[in-house]
Structure formats: structure tokens, C-alpha cells
A = this chain, B = another copy of it.
């Protein structure tokens, strides 16, 4: 009934958005199994020290994306999504971000090779940071 979500008060990202991003990732990566019962909106609101309405919004947004299923009086569950569909969801956030990066690259006349090199660079830096313990996936 507990789920690993961490809010960063410093970040400019709004609360509801931080929660959505993290919860969505937990679902589409399979870390939250289909059919799992999520914490009630009141419980999660208390845990994250925000209002019930904020959590409500998150659950509703993700339900509109087809990732959650909600029943008044009972609770909110991880929806059953086909493997194929889940992989689409899983990749789409990454793809969109990559498309934005490619757009930026094209505007400043980056070659494909240059962009690949930059991605390798970013990946390398991230892995160094993670392995040195500054940050961890879970």
C-alpha cells in the first residue's frame, strides 16, 4: 500500500506533475503490477503532505491515459494494459524527450554523429554519478 514517490520541494516542477511522472514510470515499467490497489487519495495526500485534490488530479489524469482504474467507494487500481500497449507507454515519454533534443540539435546544425556522441556522453556521466552513489534508481 506504500509506493516510492519523492517530492522535490526545490524543483520548479509542480507537485502534481512530479507525482504523475513517477507514478506513471512505476506502472509502465512494471514495478507496480496490474491490479495493484493504490493508496487512497487521502492516505497518499497525507504521506506526501499535499491536498487530497492534488492526488485526485493525478489519479484522474493517469486514468484518462488508461493506466489506472478507479471505483468510487472502493479505491484506485493499476489497470490491465496489454504488453504491447504498455511498451508504447513506456517508450513514449523517452521518445518525446529525444525528439525535442533532436529538434534542438537540428536548429543548431548538429550532425547525427555529433548527437550520438552527446547522448553517449550524457549516459556516461549519468552512470558515473549513479555508481558513485550520488543518486539511485530505487
Interface residue A91 (Cβ < 8 Å from any Cβ of B): yes
Taken residue by residue from 100 to 138, chain A's Cβ proximity to chain B (1 for < 8 Å, 0 otherwise) reads as 111011111110100110111111001100000000010
At the interface, is chain A mostly helix, strand, loop or mixed?
helix
Number of contact residues on A: which range applies?
35 or more
Which residues from chain B contact A115 at a C-beta distance below 8 Å?
Answer: 94, 98, 119, 123
The answer to whether B119 and A116 touch across the interface, beta carbons within 8 angstroms, is yes
Which residues from chain B contact A102 at a C-beta distance below 8 Å?
Answer: 119, 122-123, 126
Taken residue by residue from 42 to 68, chain A's Cβ proximity to chain B (1 for < 8 Å, 0 otherwise) reads as 000000000000000000000000000
Interface residue A69 (Cβ < 8 Å from any Cβ of B): no
Interface residue A97 (Cβ < 8 Å from any Cβ of B): yes
The answer to whether B98 and A122 touch across the interface, beta carbons within 8 angstroms, is yes
Query: What is the interface of chain A, defined by CB distance below 8 A to chain B?
Result: 21-22, 25, 28-29, 90-91, 93-95, 97-102, 104-110, 112, 115-116, 118-123, 126-127, 137
Please name 18 pairs of A and B residues whose Cβ atoms are closer than 8 Å in the assembled complex, sorted by A.
A22-B107, A25-B107, A25-B108, A29-B107, A29-B109, A91-B118, A94-B101, A94-B104, A94-B115, A97-B100, A98-B101, A98-B115, A99-B126, A100-B100, A102-B122, A106-B137, A107-B137, A119-B119
